[in-house]
Structure 1
């Protein structure tokens, strides 16, 4: 992989680097798997002039618990993004022999650098040699969903951390969090506001107090509390967002099929395609100011998020048609 492409293989969202390498333009960022429609913050009071009150954080956790289907809000802990939450959980759980399911999110390996990689799919079995297992469901980048019942069974013998960052548009495990089944949920991806840096850990009574003590009294900003609380209570917008995601996914599938590109993985917010070499397609799209997500360890794979609107979809279709001609 050349140096220019390697820059974009760590994670998505590197528009400044894309402009530096491929030039200025009206860029379409399909590299992140974040919904391209943001919940409308508008003139919501942000509280920048003060720290959040404990009751306000608790109210946010109640709103999130209701959205996730968690019966008791005390099991839901607001955190400044799930990536940081993983790095806080690692020393709290102190696993002697952790394992991480691959391929998957690079942040899992960063939080547990001594973890043994296990290639998906996994199956529940007796006598697991690992005392902690980390995975995403839906997985990144292929959208793989691991059977929730199997994960609940596996947590009887091993602590399981399930990263459900992409689970908002689909059924998830959140209502089943326990001290042996720890679930992470992200706010920014479904609500299109990753800069808010808001996420949640869903666990039970043994872990939650230790995590709260590690986070301190003000784990998130007043603005994150205000935005998250209002957004999670906005059921009308949530239904509209779900419809936008579903409809745009169908349109994106048609564009990829017209270009003869095989979709080898999918989640509601992204598609994984096979193209050999993917580096050529990545560069071609980048020269058309369309940023996608390559993978250093999967040179034939490219991930695309959902384009926003007919104009972005048409630009992608035209660029793909030019590439395959």
Structure 2
């Protein structure tokens, strides 16, 4: 991190609101694997000593989960820590990085903390951008907050251009678990950032990992802090990544409920197509009155105007049938109030 840049960098807004009883602002699974709590409890005694810094069980589980060699896995305390690590080993003061928008605001923040310059590109056009001369290019798959996946052929062509230019590609796959798209983990010239927060419904656990090969992998392994992952996170994370049936069922449930939610929201707003556990809605005007009216009814949506390039949008998490019904009922009430 560049010390001279820290004072000029702000925090980034995020979802998650514990002050309401239906939080649809954060995109986490409302369910967790059955064995997660027991694995957490069993980790207590082992937590009284330092964990093995090579995390063999976690790395094997992660490697099997994304389809790469365990030696390429670098455990981190969450996906954002993997992103920070990736930017830290690629971007130096004065460097530029290709950053999509609207997308996760932490990409630009991390580039700036390194003293770099984020070069913003519309996320739909990023795969057509020229990576030559950039220290890093970033993609989010599926993109947050729009929810769409990059076209595979365009992504392959862009990755080829990144390799030719010597520009590493950071692929944030925090929501890829909700799709059947294969990971880029282990691909030459790519750093993959993964989070166990979303699909396993454990945001407070802070477990994730980065994957890279060759020189990029060596730099990640050198730069990652010692004991980066706590013992409970390592034990629970390894257990969760073995729960293949849970992941399959989550994908089916989310796809089914996302379509039902989309149909209901489309009666009120313009809704973007999504492969993720959330939907982006254009409400047509400043969403503040809508957000306030829903909050009075105990429901929080994500104010998506905090994403670069959006000024009339909200993001809605896909949760359960009951959550969908409650939101749609509330929107019917709110329509009458706000008209």
Calculate the TM-score normalised by the size of structure 2: 0.83
Structure 1 segment 51-90 matched on structure 2, within 5 A = 51-54=50-53, 57-70=55-68, 72-90=69-87
Q: 1:210 to 1:219 in 2, by over 3 A?
A: same
Q: 1:126 to 1:261 in 2, by over 3 A?
A: closer
- Deviation per residue, 1:150-196 (Å, 9 max, x gap): 34223212221111111112144534534521111111101111111
Decide whether the 8 Å contact of 1:178 with 1:202 is kept in 2: no
What SS is found at the alignment partner of 1:267?
coil
- 1:153 counterpart = 2:153: no
| Runs of 4+ residues deviating >4 angstroms | none
Calculate the TM-score normalised by the size of structure 1: 0.86
Structure 1 segment 284-295 matched on structure 2, within 5 A = 284-294=293-303, 295=305
- Deviation per residue, 1:88-108 (Å, 9 max, x gap): 222311352222111110110
- 1:94 counterpart = 2:99: no
- 1:303 counterpart = 2:315: yes
Deviation, 1:127, is 6.8
**What are the ranges of 5 or more consecutive residues in structure 1 without an aligned counterpart?**
1-8, 20-24
1:118 is matched with: 121
CA RMSD of aligned residues (A): 2.2
What SS is found at the alignment partner of 1:36?
coil
Tell me the matched-pair count: 305
Output the CA distance in 1 between the equivalents of 2:47 and 2:131. Answer: 51
Q: 2:141 aligns with which of 137, 144, 152?
A: 137
Decide whether the 8 Å contact of 1:271 with 1:304 is kept in 2: yes
**What are the ranges of 5 or more consecutive residues in structure 2 without an aligned counterpart?**
1-11
1:183 is matched with: 192
Q: 2:38 aligns with which of 40, 43, 52?
A: 43
